[in-house]
Structure 1
Amino acid sequence: LRRGALCVGWAISLLLVAAATARLWLAGQQLPSGGPLRPRQAAIDVRRYELDLRLDPARRSLAGRAVTHLLTVAPLDAVELHLDDRLKVVAATVDGTAARFRHRRGLVSVELAAAWGPGERHAVELRYAGRPKVAAKPPWLDGLVWAETPSGAAWLGVTVQGDGADDWWPCKDHPSDEPDDGVAIALTLPSELVALSNGRKTGETVHADGTTTTRWEVGHPINNYLVTFNAGPYVPIEATYGGVDGDRAETIVFWAIPEHREQAARLWQEQGAAMLASYARRYGEYPYLDEKFHVAETPYLGMEHQTIVAYGADFENNEHGFDELLFHETAHEWWGNKVTARDWADFWLQEGFATYAVALHVLDSRGEAAYLDHMRGVTAGIRNRVPIVGGRDRVASEAYVGDIYAKGAAVLHTLRWELGAAALDEALRRFATDALPADGLVETADFERLVGEIAGRNLDWFWQRYLRRAAPPRWRLERTPTPPAREAITLAWDDPAFELALPIVVAGEARRVEMPGGHARFEVPAGTPIEVDPERRILAEPAASHRTGPSGSRVGGTPET
């Protein structure tokens, strides 16, 4: 017995050591992005980045020059930019003059010859090189992606939504500051590779050493994590997008690896332009037509890189007849790229809205029944372990929880029931167009105010329960006999401040039950069957003690016993 206990003790110890090792490994794979702004970073407004990068796939190395053009908004004695320690800064200049710097713990501090006052414009250049962080599990664990196509050709990319762009270039690593005047990107790679990046292609230079420099220009504000590059033996697949009004002829391109040319062509010709038109009808025209809409096949699942969406799925349609990964990532061109969370605490504004955009495409293309079926699949994945909006000044890895997708979409789905489809449609369109701040950066409170304006009433009870509490609302149904041969039906939420209307079906008749003060009461003939939300139009659960309730009731379409 003692020997068995000793073996069990050793096994438990080994499991604990393994768990601790796994946590340490995971911590080493995640860099903080966002969070509270450092005072020196809060003192600058980035206006533009200029990146000149040379990548060597054989050595998995990078050498770069990065210029940050900035405007001071407060007094400043040094400039601080983030850059992963795996990359080493070799020189710094301020307005063309060499400057002293220190690079430690992911932060580059550049000394100033004299302090700057508010309202000054300056340029800080850093030259750096090294072997950048390699993505352990892209796009969830970030870094550079050095892969090969099935034929053995180099196939490169990068994902940094969690880590931030300082995995591969020095920047102010915070979602609240997008470069107002865009980004210039020059990529030097082996000439046999096609090099792609954000924005418009502005030039290409072939060098005698077997490399080619490709230059790109982003004219719109862009969040740091959306800046990207793709490189491989790509072949272009073209389609024509007619615009939301059908009066344009814009070439849109899917860049496929040669082995997948046929699958990519079929996908792109059937779905590329129709997808853009579907979203444009709801949220306004595709926001970057003056640059491009391209998709690049990648050796990782996907990412919403601005104007060059990453796609790494299997060219397979879902049960509704479209490629869901492609539609989700493209929805981010509106929800994430045009409309961007100022604080990672509001991550759901990007992932939840993009997830719901796919659901609304199902509604538009397949009808209400298919939409409800799709949303039942979405909500099945909700965990309700933590609130989807938790505090302020969050780092990306803290805010990134699974429920920002499914529960975020379910919040909008429930809001559609509470307000009506027309009101929600108006809120989404206005949030993406005329109600959008000039810089495109938003917070949850901005959407709450807009919805309250459209609804003409205060919905704090809705937002507090769904966004800032983990547990979903729970309802209770009670039946009380009332002579002669009738029953009083009482419906109540677990919180009297929660006033969401309940969808019910009474003897086959659909009803909407308003819940002022969190409850409602009505009478029916004794034994009348009642179903509560059989179509799953809201995000809610029956109270625990009610889940096996009285005969003649149904909960969410599931018979009670």
Structure 2
Amino acid sequence: MKNLVILITCFIATYCISQNNEGLLQEKNNFTHQDTLRGSITPEREWWDLTYYHLDIKVNPENKTITGKNTITYKVLKPYQVLQIDLQEPLTLTKVTQNEKELEIKHDGNAHFVTLKKQQNIGEINSVIAYYEGKPREAVRAPWDGGISWKKDNNGKHFIASSCQGLGASVWWPNKDHMYDEVDSMDISVTIPKNLMNVSNGRLKSIVNNKDETITTHWHVANPINNYGVNINIGDYANFSEVYKGEKGDLDMNYYVLKDNLEKAKKHFKDAPKMMKAFEHWFGPYPFYEDSFKLVEVPYLGMEHQSSVTYGNRYMKGYLGSDLSGSGWGLKFDFIIIHEAGHEWFANNITNVDIADMWIHESFTAYSESLFLDYYYGTKASADYVIGTRRNIQNDRPLIGYYNVNKEGSGDMYYKGANMLHTIRQLVNNDEKWRQILRTLNSKFYHQTVTTQQIEDCIIQESGLDLKGFFNQYLRSTKIPELQYSIDGKKLTYKWNNTVENFVIPIQIEINGVSQWITPTSKNKTLKLKSKNATIVIDRDFFIETKNI
């Protein structure tokens, strides 16, 4: 259970810091009433704390419909009589009950305000049951434009999956659809045709054969889970498994793939235990031992659904067979297995309070790709890869988006963010200390939702570095620091250009092959050289631009 009062306070503080940071964020877009209802902690959300969901649905592949209900159990934090449930059109919230009494619903687009008859007293644990039906939005280009993917495999059997990051889990089931409040545990019951299998989050508890040529799969999630991490995956699956000897003991690793791909998967999925070994080294124990780890084949590229990571990279190395870094190292691993599983630590263990801070998910996970390489191929390979990904950076918008309106920042949160973290590693200048910082993040914020400010403060505290201006530079502006320098005889003159206020970091350079640190500022500084015509090489690991003037 989250301490919502503290989280809301942190949320408001982060919002104020970001919005008043000397205009570093872009001008405000035009957001709608629905954006606010979706993205803010409304009065109808803040008074109750999620404790348990039981999602119980029937999926009909033939007419692409879902019918069912979600039992929503919550703790009352303060007296209030109206509760917000989110469900996106064209699905219909047909009724909501409490204690078997139907309740009045005021529908406002995708937000539904339920007036409770029972007095809501502080500390009570209460439940409502939300019934719904209809054709959920069909994914157009999953996972980027999410919803439900209704596909068929090569044998003509149904192949169905959900994906909903950003768009929101309410695109296919009714819930409290805001990142700040994660449910403590969850049951997922899915009824489907008898010739198929559904794989969801957590552990499979039972499969019930029904009288109407259907089965119901019952899954239980023991750990807190964010809404978009909940998933259904329906297909003609084969299953194989292994036990990984991890930092917290035996970890069940299960793999669900289309039956035609079983032998191929048994060879290709060897990247999964390799991933687990590398990431437990860098980030600490896998955060969901109780719920196992699963890799599940789906008809789209992939997604970081908690303990049920989805896979659609066509059994290729790299990203659909290509190397996003251009370094060659990106073809040493299956991008989707490594990247999406990395999210188990950054997105599922540590989750952003507001999607504006989604860089926390994507920057650390994009960076995890290079750390995987570091573990198996060394620091140079890791650096080659992350530096190579700079070619994908657009510098179109800041990494932090807008708060309270469900608006993430720039797609640069992947590789600009990864290179920002790679630069911090250089500033820490001690790889073991850097590893402990990453592990501390995952232990300090274990199963929590966090703000940007909390992540910044933790890294600053653990590193002992003054990084306030640094984070403003890389998170809240589109400026890339430029090191300007010139050599006049035996004098090196240098300074930072294109920086925000208070951006002061040291940088490592080589002078005639000898490494040393300098600390530029926005004013010219000089360094006496031992000889004329010195050769200056700027360390490539720092994500900066350089200009010899």
TM range (shorter): 0.7 to 0.9
Counterpart residue type for residue 264 of structure 2: Q
Q: Distance in 1 between matches of 2:436 and 2:405?
A: 30
Aligned to 1:143: 147
Correspondent of 2:125 among 116, 121, 126 = 121
Correspondent of 2:480 among 467, 472, 476 = 472
Aligned to 2:50: 46
Q: Distance in 1 between matches of 2:146 and 2:127?
A: 28
In the alignment, structure 1 residue 108 sits paired with structure 2 residue 116: no
| TM-aligned CA deviation for residue 161 of structure 1 | 0.5
Aligned to 1:309: 309
Q: Which moved more, 1:109-118 or 1:348-357?
A: 109-118
Aligned to 1:490: 493
Change (3 A) 1:57 1:518: farther
Contact 1:203 1:216 in 2 (8 A): yes
Counterpart residue type for residue 330 of structure 1: A
In the alignment, structure 1 residue 424 sits paired with structure 2 residue 434: yes
Equivalence map 1:229-240=2 (5 Å): 229-240=232-243
SS in 2 for 1:76: coil
Change (3 A) 1:226 1:31: farther
SS in 1 for 2:286: coil
TM-score, reference length from structure 1: 0.85
Counterpart residue type for residue 495 of structure 2: A
Contact 1:497 1:518 in 2 (8 A): no
Counterpart residue type for residue 435 of structure 2: D
Aligned to 1:218: 221
Aligned to 1:409: 418
What is the count of residue pairs matched by the alignment?
A: 503
Counterpart residue type for residue 463 of structure 2: A
Q: Distance in 1 between matches of 2:77 and 2:474?
A: 36
| TM-aligned CA deviation for residue 510 of structure 1 | 2.9
In the alignment, structure 1 residue 501 sits paired with structure 2 residue 511: no
SS in 2 for 1:133: coil
The C-alpha deviation readout for 1:211-259, integer Å capped at 9, x for no partner, is: 00010111111000000010100111323312137xx454412211122
The C-alpha deviation readout for 1:138-181, integer Å capped at 9, x for no partner, is: 0000101101111211001000102111111111110000012x
Equivalence map 1:25-424=2 (5 Å): 34-180=38-184, 182-244=185-247, 248-268=249-269, 270-318=270-318, 319-320=328-329, 321-395=332-406, 398-420=407-429, 421-424=431-434
Contact 1:205 1:213 in 2 (8 A): yes
SS in 1 for 2:393: coil
Counterpart residue type for residue 296 of structure 1: V
| TM-aligned CA deviation for residue 197 of structure 1 | 0.5
Q: Distance in 1 between matches of 2:50 and 2:420?
A: 34
SS in 2 for 1:242: strand
| TM-aligned CA deviation for residue 457 of structure 1 | 4.1
Change (3 A) 1:31 1:152: farther
Aligned to 1:16: none
Counterpart residue type for residue 300 of structure 1: Y
| Structure with larger Rg | 1
SS in 2 for 1:393: coil
Q: Distance in 1 between matches of 2:286 and 2:163?
A: 23
| Unpaired stretches in structure 2, ≥5 consecutive residues | 1-30, 319-327
| TM-aligned CA deviation for residue 50 of structure 1 | 0.9
Contact 1:33 1:164 in 2 (8 A): no
Contact 1:242 1:273 in 2 (8 A): no
Contact 2:396 2:410 in 1 (8 A): no
Q: Distance in 2 between matches of 1:349 and 1:217?
A: 27
Change (3 A) 1:131 1:391: closer
Contact 2:302 2:340 in 1 (8 A): yes
Contact 1:81 1:108 in 2 (8 A): yes
SS in 2 for 1:290: helix
Contact 2:437 2:463 in 1 (8 A): no
Counterpart residue type for residue 242 of structure 2: A
Q: Distance in 2 between matches of 1:237 and 1:62?
A: 29
Counterpart residue type for residue 128 of structure 1: Y
Change (3 A) 1:303 1:106: same
In the alignment, structure 1 residue 451 sits paired with structure 2 residue 451: no
| TM-aligned CA deviation for residue 516 of structure 1 | 5.8
Contact 1:491 1:519 in 2 (8 A): yes
Q: Distance in 1 between matches of 2:510 and 2:460?
A: 28
The C-alpha deviation readout for 1:175-212, integer Å capped at 9, x for no partner, is: 000012x1111000001111110011111210121100
